[in-house]
């Protein structure tokens, strides 16, 4: 399998496993990822996901150009005849939080996968780039849209227009990643964060993610109105009542996602 998948304690681990190809995504890997993201969305036992790469060199370097040749379909066919997006970062849409544990090179589509995650943690040796302009192309998996939203216009333009790499330390400076840790601490740090999230009420966690994601594209007044509406939806939920009871009784809450 070119993608390893496992679930423990409500945390799913997705590990790209093609270290001989810098964890690049070939057609088989792409299909495996489509199936895995469907499982993350649909399986009740999964509350948080962590995505990483095998080995010390690469998180993911995007599409495997040796195995992913341009098709013969017209653009209209690609857009309207094939309902399954071929973007490497497609199908990651879910209200469940996704953490990227970036263990090495995150280049092109690999960086776009990281950008599609909610929290990014990097090893000290990680490097980042969207270098498509160097080969006469552009990022094809929302990189031009997600990067400015993540780090601001000037830093994003610097990366996108030069195509240059940045280090993990520079990624931390501009807010692309939340933490930079030694390589041997990367997965323990990612799992520590995932377990903290999984210990919280899952409906509340998913509601927060949806509000943040959608609210960024709304006027502030409309976003605040959405927040008030979702607060009301959760007000009488079983988990909210359990959380208050557990606090009063000085015990750990037992959340059920209801």
Task: Say what angle helices 220-234 and 202-215 make with each other, to 10 degrees.
Answer: 170
How many C-beta atoms surround the C-beta of residue 41 within 10 A? 15
Distance of CA 168 to the CA centre of its chain: 17
Q: CB–CB of 122/178 below 8 Å?
A: no
Q: Are residues 91 and 172 in the same domain?
A: yes
**pLDDT number for residue 86:** 63
> Residue 228 sits in which domain range?
202-249
Active-site pick, 20, 28, 112, 238: 112
Domain contains 254: no
- Give pLDDT < 50 ranges for the chain: none
Residue 99: per-residue pLDDT? 98
> For residue 80, what pLDDT is reported?
66
What is the predicted pLDDT for the residue at 204?
96
Do residue 19 and residue 114 come from a single domain? yes
**What pLDDT does 83 receive?**
55
23 with 45, same domain: the answer is yes
Is position 255 within any domain?
A: no
Phi, psi angles (nearest 5°) of residue 63: -65, 140
Mark whether 240 and 181 lie in a shared domain.
no
pLDDT value at position 40?
Answer: 96
What's the pLDDT score for residue 22? 94
Catalytic residue chosen out of the listed positions 28, 132, 170, 192? 132
pLDDT, tens only, 109-136: 999 999 999 999 999 999 999 999 999 9
CATH number at residue 147: 3.90.226.10
Please indicate whether residue 238 is annotated as part of the active site: no
Counted domains in the chain: 2
Half-sphere exposure of 33 (CA within 13 A, CB side): 30
CATH at 233: 1.10.12
According to the model, what pLDDT value does residue 172 have? 98
109 in the same domain as 33: yes
Per-residue model confidence (pLDDT) at position 63: 83
Is residue 4 flagged as an active site residue? no
Over the stretch 64-79, which tens digit does the pLDDT of each residue have? 766 665 556 676 766 6
Q: Which two tokens stand for residue 37?
A: 């993201």
42 CA to centre of own chain: 17
Name the nearest CA neighbour of 13 among 188, 160, 140, 158: 188
Residue at 27 is within a domain: yes
The answer to whether the beta carbons of residues 43 and 6 sit under 8 Å apart is: no
pLDDT in the model for residue 88: 77
| Residue 19 lies inside a defined structural domain of this protein | yes
Looking at the fold, whether 148 and 22 belong to one and the same domain comes out as yes
């Amino acid at each position: 399998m070119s993608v390893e998948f496992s679930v423990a304690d409500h945390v799913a681990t997705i590990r790209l496993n093609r270290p001989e190809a810098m964890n690049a995504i070939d057609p088989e890997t792409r299909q495996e990822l489509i199936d895995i993201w469907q499982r993350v969305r649909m399986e009740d036992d999964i509350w948080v996901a962590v995505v990483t790469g095998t080995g010390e060199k690469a998180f993911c370097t995007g599409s495997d150009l040796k195995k992913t040749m341009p098709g013969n379909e017209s653009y209209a066919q690609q857009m309207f005849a094939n309902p399954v997006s071929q973007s490497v970062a497609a199908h990651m849409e879910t209200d469940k939080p996704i953490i990227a544990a970036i263990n090495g090179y995150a280049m092109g589509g690999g960086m776009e996968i990281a950008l599609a995650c909610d929290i990014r943690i990097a090893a000290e040796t990680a490097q980042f780039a969207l270098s498509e302009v160097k080969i006469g192309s552009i990022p094809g998996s929302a990189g031009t849209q997600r990067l400015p939203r993540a780090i601001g216009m000037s830093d994003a333009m610097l990366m996108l227009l030069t195509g240059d790499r940045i280090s993990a330390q520079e990624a931390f400076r501009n807010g692309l990643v939340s933490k930079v840790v030694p390589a041997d601490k990367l997965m323990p740090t990612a799992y520590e964060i995932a377990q903290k999230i999984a210990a919280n009420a899952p409906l509340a966690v998913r509601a927060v993610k949806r509000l943040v994601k959608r609210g960024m594209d709304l006027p502030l007044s409309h976003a605040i109105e959405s927040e008030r509406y979702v607060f009301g939806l959760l007000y009488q939920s079983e988990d909210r009542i359990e959380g208050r009871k557990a606090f009063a009784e000085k015990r750990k809450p037992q959340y059920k996602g209801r």
